[in-house]
Amino acid sequence: WLTGKDKKMNWEKEWVWVKGPESPRNFYVYFRGWFESGEGVKKVLVHLTADSRYLLYLNGEFQGRGPAKCDPKYQYYDTYNVTKKVTAGRNLIAVLVHHYGEETFSYLLGRGGFLCQSEVIYNDGHKKVYGTDSSWRTKSAEAWDQNASRTTVQLGFQEIYDAKKEPVGWQKPDFDDTSWDTPVLLGKPLKKTVGVGFIRPETGSINRTPTIPWENLIPRDIPFLKESALLPQRVVEIGEIAGSNVGQGFSLALDNLNLAGLLENELHLPWNKEGIKGLKNLLRQNDRYLEISVPENGLYLILDFGKEVTGFPNFTLETEEDGGMVDLAYDE
């Protein structure tokens, strides 16, 4: 991880986006691009940013998320040193971008955009630059429901995700993206960003206008959050869903559907835990495999993590049925 005090950045690649509206609501999009690494490589750096957020994968392996919260006029970008993670030959960068399309209490509305530049630096001092241009491929992500409600007026969107609609293995090098689109080129940023909050405009024959709204690109000035697995401490309750006590006047229209409210109003019945194998595995570091025969109306679990945590739920679901559904909510 590099700060603004560590390096000066020359941007040669372009901001890109997908065909369509420039600021769609609650919109996800995939991007894929390649760079080459040969013999005598000293260092490989990946610089990137997005409006609004990104997940970065290198050759199918998750690397990180960002950018840090910022004003789009002073857009943060991140730098990853992936020298020890690249392979000889072609390397794939795959990125999932989420554009909010609406302001929250921690996000100022810009427009949809993604920028990535990879630098392969060799021992003899020469450098090759790769990044977002017309060679990349992109596809709108259909797995997320754009009409999902906001969690609250302060926060972002509830996440309604259909795994059947995700292109399997899109993060991996052997995935076939020939049917994907070429991204829309939005323009290059200022050639140089210096320090934190200071911009050195280009000089010479080219008089380039900064890409709006990202007038200034600023290196991340705080470290990445450390991510580690955290297991629940105990299973508080388990039971069967018997229905809902939501009144007849309650609307299920997506523009006002509150999933947490629906979960809160479910009717629960005790269950004798028949049909569950490996319940305690949820609390163990290894063999975290739980097998459940779900009753007709559904099953619920309440897990206690022992303390308030900041993080993302992470689980794998395997089912023999088509259309299995998991609702996930949290409280404090």
- pTM summary value: 0.87
pLDDT digits (tens, 9 = 90+) for 203-242: 443 444 568 899 999 999 999 999 998 999 999 989 888 8
Please report how many Cα atoms fall inside a 13 Å half-sphere around the Cα of residue 54, on the Cβ side: 26
Cβ 239 vs Cβ 300: under 8 Å: yes
What token pair was written down for 94?
């795959």
Taken in order of first residue, the domains within the chain and their CATH numbers are: 9-219 (2.60.120.260), 228-332 (no CATH)
* pLDDT tens digit sequence for 146-183: 999 898 889 899 999 999 999 999 999 999 999 999 99
Q: What is the pLDDT of residues 282-296, one digit of tens each?
A: 898 887 788 888 888
* Backbone φ, ψ for residue 123 (5° rounding): -60, -30
Q: Can you tell me the distance from the alpha carbon of 297 to that of 224, in angstroms, rounded to the nearest whole number? A: 42
Residue 160: what residue type?
A: I
Q: Report pLDDT for 216.
A: 92
